[in-house]
């Protein structure tokens, strides 16, 4: 019988998932260096996430690239801070169009859909990410408690 070492509820997290988790953690730890604006569009959302700190800006770009790839593959990593909106985005991925444009300090992401459930999930998720940027670790812990998950970070 396996111990708890395999991660939350027996799930094993591959290196890409762990990198994503650690990238999320790094961004949340530096939340006060991040500026984020969200514009809800009639069919989706436009987010701009940037930092004047070049290391944080690079982390934002890397994190966005990794998450967009996961969604396109439909590879939901099942991270403990995931919300119902995040899970809905993975389920509805084929109905979502995503374009990303890097800026000198970060990334602009436009996600649109003709599916009303996908639009609602995109807008809710964008607001949740903004809460993390505003609230840092306090907001991350609250999100994890709400979703019922805790995650062990690798030692």
Q: For tokens 């770009």, what's the residue?
A: 61
Checking if the pLDDT of 128 tops 80, the result is yes
d(CA 113, CA 93): 9
pTM above 0.75, yes or no: yes
pLDDT in the model for residue 147: 72
Find the mean pLDDT for residues 59-65.
93
- When pLDDT is cut at 50, 70 and 90, the band that residue 3 belongs to is very low
Give the CB-side neighbour count of residue 54, counting CA atoms within 13 A: 0
3-state secondary structure 20-38: HHHHHHHHHHCHHHEEEEE
67-120, pLDDT tens digit by residue?
999 999 988 888 777 889 999 999 999 999 999 999 999 999 999 999 999 999
Is residue 21 within 8 Å of 151, Cβ to Cβ? yes
pLDDT at residue 117 in the model: 97
Q: What is the mean pLDDT of the chain?
A: 85
* Helices 116-147 and 84-91, packing angle to 10 deg: 140
Q: What is the pLDDT of residue 107?
A: 97
- Kindly tell me if the per-residue pLDDT of 44 is higher than 50: yes
Question: Highest-confidence range of 12-21, 88-97, 139-148, by mean pLDDT?
Answer: 88-97
């Amino acid at each position: 019988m396996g111990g708890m070492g395999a991660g939350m509820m027996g799930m094993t997290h591959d290196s890409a998932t762990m990198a994503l988790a650690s990238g999320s953690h790094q961004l949340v730890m530096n939340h006060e260096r991040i500026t984020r604006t969200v514009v809800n569009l009639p069919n989706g959302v436009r987010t701009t996430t940037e930092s004047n700190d070049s290391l944080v800006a690079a982390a934002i770009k890397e994190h966005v690239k990794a998450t967009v790839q996961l969604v396109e593959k439909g590879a939901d990593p099942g991270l403990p801070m995931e919300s119902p909106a995040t899970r809905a985005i993975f389920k509805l991925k084929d109905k979502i169009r995503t374009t990303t444009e890097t800026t000198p300090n970060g990334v602009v992401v436009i996600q649109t859909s003709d599916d009303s459930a996908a639009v609602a999930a995109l807008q809710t998720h964008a607001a949740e990410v903004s809460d993390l940027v505003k609230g840092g670790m306090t907001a991350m812990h609250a999100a994890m408690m709400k979703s019922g998950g805790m995650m062990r970070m690798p030692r």
